[in-house]
A and B are shown apart, each in its own frame.
Chain A
Amino acid sequence: MSAVAAGPGGPHSVTEAARQRKFGALYSRNVQAVVARGLMAAKSSTWLILVSGFFEPVLYLVAMGVGLGTIVGDVEGPGGQLTSYAAYIAPALLAVSAMNGAVYDSTWNVFFKMNFAKLYQGMLYTSLGPLDVAMGEIFLALLRGLLYATGFTAVMGVMGLLTTFWAVLMIPASLLIAFGFASLGMGITSFMKTFQQMDWINFFMLPMFLFSATFYPLSVYPEGIQWLIQAMPLWHGVELLRQISVGAFSPATAVHIGYYLVMIVLGVALTTGRLRKLFLK
C-alpha cells in the first residue's frame, strides 16, 4: 500500500496550490466544481423529466395557439401590428417555460439535496463556500433553461411564428428570466422544511402562469388587478419576450430587464445568506 497521506511537513504541493488562491469565508472561486458535479449526476438520471419539460410549452402552443387560435383570429401585438394568436402567445409560453425549468431545478431539486441527500452539507465541509454552491446550482438551472429556450425558439421558427431576426435575442432574454426565478426560488426553498410547504410554490406558480397576460392582454383586467399582475415577475418576462419577438422595443423594455436584474441580485444574496445560516451556523 502506498502512502495515502503524507506526514506533517511532507509534500503537500497540491493542497498548497489550492490553498494559495484567494479565499473568503463565502467564496472560493470554484463554481465550476459544483457545475461539473451536476453534469456528472445528470448523465445517469432525469432524461425523461428533461424532455417532458421541453414538450409542455410546445403542447400548449399547439393546443391554444393553433387550435384555439382558429377561433380567436389575429390579435394586436406589442407594436400595434396584427399577428396570429399563436405568434402572440408563443413568447409568453417561452417565458413560462424558462420559469418552469428554473423553478423546478431550484426548488424541488434543491429541496431534496438540502434536506435528504445532505449534498450541500458535504460540499461545505470542503473548500467551497456557500456562494460557490449557490452560483453552481443556479448555473445548472440556467443550463436547463438554455436548452428549453433554444428548443422552443426553434419550434417557433419551424411553425413560421418568427418574423424578425430580433427574435434570436429571446434566448438570452429567457436566460435572464430563468436566472431571476432560479436565484429567488433557491433562496425561498431554503426556508422550506416539509413537502406541504413545497406545495405553496405550485399554489403561487399556476395562477401566475394563467393570469400574467399570457393568453390575453393586461387591459382586460380592472386597474387594481393590473397593478398586482405588473408586480409579479412573470408578467415582466412575458412582456419582454413578446416585445423582442417582433422587435418592438420601448422604455418599458428597460424596466422589464431591470426588474430581473434586481430579482437576480436579491435572489443570489438571499440564497448565499441562507446557505451560510443553514450550514455554517
Chain B
Amino acid sequence: MNPDAVIRAEQLRKNYGDVAAVDGISFEVPPGESFGLLGPNGAGKSTTMKMIGGVSQRTSGKLSIMGLDPDVNGPEVRAHLGVVPQQDNLDEELKVRENLIVYGRYFGLPLSYLRPKADELLEFAQLTDKAKSRVDALSGGMKRRLTIARSLINEPKILLLDEPTTGLDPQARHILWDRLFRLKEQGVTLILTTHYMDEAEQLCDRLIVVDKGRIMAEGSPASLIREHSTREVLELRFGSERNATIGAELQGVGERLETLPDRVLIYAEDGETALEQVSARGLHPLTSLVRRSSLEDVFLRLTGRSLVD
C-alpha cells in the first residue's frame, strides 16, 4: 500500500438493482499522477468517477480520497476536487466570467480571491475575450475549456475528467490536451475516463482497462501494449465476404490472428515480414496497413471486443 496515495479504492462495488455497474475494483493513485480509466460505454467508468466525487454512494468496499470517505465527508472531499462532467452543465443564465465566480462561491471562497482567480483561469482557458459573453454563444470546445477552468476555481488537488474530449473536433481536442498537460506539469492529479486510445496514450501515466465493472489490466500505456500485444499490427481487408473465411489460410502468419467483420488483424513483431508471408501464400488483400500496436489492440485482446462500437 502506498501511504501517500490520494485515492485508494479497495473492492469498490456499486449495484443498481441487481446489476453491478462496478464489480469490485481496487486501485491506488499517488499524488501528481495522471491516471486513466479506459473502457467502452457502460463499463462502469462514470459510476466510479461519481463515487470518487461523493455524488454516488458505493454499495460496498472501501474508498478514501485524501484520507477521507466521500460518503461521510462529501462536501469536504469535494472541496479538494475539480470535476469536469461528461456533459457540460455550465450555468447558461450567467455570463462566462460569472460562471467562474459563482462556482467559486459554492465552495465558500471569498470574492477577493475569486476575482483575480477568475481572470487568471480565463487566460488559462484562452477565453479572456469572451469574459462577458453568454455561455450559449460559445463553441463546443470553448464550453469544454470553460468547464475545465471552472473546475480549477478551488485549486483542486485532484481533477476528475469524465470523457473530456468526447464530441470535440480534432483541433479542439489538441488544444484541450495541451491545457491538461500543463495542469499535469503543475502537479495536479488527473483522473480521466476515456474510450479514446490516443487520449489515454497522450495523457495517462498509468491506466486501468475496465470492462463490465471489472479491471482487466493495469499499467502504463507502453507496458500494457508490451504485455498484451505485439510491437506491430498488420491490418488486412479482403472485403466483407472473405474476411471471415480467410482466417484458416492465414494460420501461422505472425503470432496471433484476430478476425473482425471489416478486417483481419495479424499481430507480429515485424509487420512488413508478415505481409510478405501473406503474399507468399498467394493471398492478395484489397488493402493492407502496418502500424504500431495501440491500447485498442490491448482492449481487443483482453475482452474480444472493440472499444468504440
Footprint of B on A, CB under 8 Å?
Answer: 1-8, 10, 12, 14-15, 18-19, 21, 23-25, 28-30, 32-34, 36-37, 40-41, 44-45, 117-119, 121-129, 279-281
Contacts and interface: CB of A to CB of B under 8 A. Distances in A.
B75 A36 contact: no
Chain B residues touching A, range: 35 or more
B102 A281 contact: no
* Best-surrounded residue of B103, B106, B110 (most CB of chain A within 10 A): B106
Interface in B115-157: 120-121, 123-124, 152, 154-157
Contacts of A3: 186
Contacts of A40: 94, 98, 102
Given A14-B113, A14-B155, A28-B75, A33 B106 contact: yes
Nearest to A27: B75
A129 B75 contact: yes
11 contacts: A2-B120, A4-B124, A7-B188, A8-B189, A25-B73, A33-B106, A33-B108, A121-B89, A122-B85, A124-B55, A280-B56
B62 interface: no
A3 B76 CA distance: 24
B155 to A, nearest CB: 5
Contacts of B94: 37, 40-41, 44
Given A5-B183, A8-B189, A122-B91, A23 B75 contact: yes
A6 B155 CA distance: 7
Interface string B51-86: 001111100000000000001111110111111010
Contacts of B183: 4-5
B106 A128 contact: yes
A125 B80 contact: no
Contacts of A29: 108
Interface of B: 6, 31-32, 53-57, 71-76, 78-83, 85, 87, 89-95, 98, 102-103, 105-110, 113, 120-121, 123-124, 152, 154-157, 159, 182-183, 186-189
Contact of A30 (B83, B106, B186): B106
B83 to A, nearest CB: 4
Contact of B89 (A28, A36, A41, A118): A118
Q: Binding site of A, secondary structure by majority: helix, strand, loop or mixed?
A: loop
A217 B254 CA distance: 93
Contacts of A14: 109-110, 113, 154-155
Contact of A7 (B106, B123, B186): B186
> Top 4 closest A-B pairs, CB basis?
A7-B187, A126-B106, A41-B93, A118-B89
A125 B53 CA distance: 7
B73 A23 contact: yes
A182 to B, nearest CB: 19
A29 B92 CA distance: 25
A264 to B, nearest CB: 24
Contact of A19 (B6, B54, B76, B123): B76
A45 B81 CA distance: 32
Nearest to A280: B55
Given A7-B32, A125-B83, A25 B55 contact: no
Contacts of A119: 89, 91
A189 to B, nearest CB: 18
B121 A4 contact: yes
B127 to A, nearest CB: 13
Given A119-B91, A125-B53, A280-B57, A36 B108 contact: no
Nearest to B108: A18
A117 B83 CA distance: 17
Given A41-B94, A280-B56, A18 B107 contact: yes
B38 to A, nearest CB: 23
Given A15-B79, A119-B89, A129 B186 contact: no
Contact of B120 (A4, A24, A30): A4
A14 B108 CA distance: 9
